[in-house]
């Protein structure tokens, strides 16, 4: 085989194998966590041991869909410092379908700044560094949203539950979701169209905007 033919063969093999190897790493093999901060790498390893390879892989995050009790689980490479109830880094976000009443959004924010609710999508998300802590936050968020606990009571119970967990005595709130399944369906809230705007076709609206303003 001539050198020219050999070079062509190598180039062809590379063109065929590299995409396949990339796909294998993305969808079947464990992702490369070299360079990830320790907290993020540890959380990613824990989730892979529990749920297997992630469904989506990028340089900045790993995501699992419908793994365990969660709609979505994401480990972020970049940590966010959070000092309550003890200093740690938020890297693990877990999401459930849940409708939070609009008048309870502020209560959830006062309880735990790492909880976010998406009214339109009907999702409730929390970030921490451990899944058991996320379960605790979601369970207490549900009780706040349902009017079963005040923000102050939830914060006190959260601290107590974390103390028990750290002492090797995990309670039921950190071991699974304590939410009736009926609260986890039909959670999206698309809101209602404004009558004044609904009378004008959307295409005409944006056409007019294009004439009035240069985007």
Q: How far is CA 194 from CA 198, 205, 210, in A?
A: 6, 14, 21
pLDDT band at 205 (very low <50, low <70, confident <90, very high): low
Q: Is residue 92 part of a domain?
A: yes
91 alpha carbon, distance to own chain's centre? 9
**Contact indicator for 92, 128 with CB cutoff of 8 Å:** yes
Asked whether residue 18 is assigned to any structural domain, the reply reads: no
| Residue 73 domain-assigned (yes or no) | yes
Is 182 within a domain? Answer: no
48-81: pLDDT as tens digits: 999 999 999 999 999 999 999 999 999 999 999 9
Q: What is the pTM of this model?
A: 0.81
Helices (H), the chain: 3-27, 38-51, 105-111, 131-145, 151-166, 195-198, 202-212
In a domain, 215, yes or no: no
Say if residue 202's pLDDT is above 70: no
Q: Is residue 207 part of a domain?
A: no
Residue 20 lies inside a defined structural domain of this protein: no
The model's confidence at residue 21, banded by pLDDT at 50, 70 and 90, is: very low
Domain membership of residue 54 (yes or no) is: yes
Domain that holds residue 82: 36-176
- Domain tally, the chain: 1
Report pLDDT for 24: 46
87/117 Cα distance (integer angstroms): 23
């Amino acid at each position: 085989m001539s050198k020219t033919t050999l070079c062509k063969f190598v180039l062809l093999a590379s063109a065929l194998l590299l995409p396949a190897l990339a796909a294998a790493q993305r969808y079947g093999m464990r992702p490369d966590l070299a360079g990830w901060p320790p907290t993020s790498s540890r959380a990613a390893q824990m989730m892979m041991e529990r749920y297997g390879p992630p469904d989506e892989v990028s340089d900045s995050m790993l995501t699992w869909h419908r793994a365990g009790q969660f709609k979505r689980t994401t480990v972020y490479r970049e940590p966010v410092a959070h000092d309550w109830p003890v200093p740690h880094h938020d890297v693990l976000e877990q999401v459930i379908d849940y409708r939070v009443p609009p008048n309870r959004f502020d209560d959830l924010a006062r309880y735990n700044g790492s909880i976010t609710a998406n009214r339109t999508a009907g999702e409730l998300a929390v970030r921490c560094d451990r899944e058991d802590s996320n379960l605790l936050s979601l369970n207490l968020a549900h009780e706040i949203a349902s009017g079963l606990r005040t923000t102050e009571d939830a914060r006190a119970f959260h601290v107590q539950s974390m103390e028990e967990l750290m002492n090797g005595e995990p309670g039921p709130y950190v071991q699974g979701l304590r939410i009736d399944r009926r609260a986890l369906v039909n959670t999206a809230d698309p809101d209602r169209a404004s009558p004044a705007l609904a009378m004008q076709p959307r295409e005409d609206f944006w056409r007019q905007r294009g004439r009035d303003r240069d985007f």
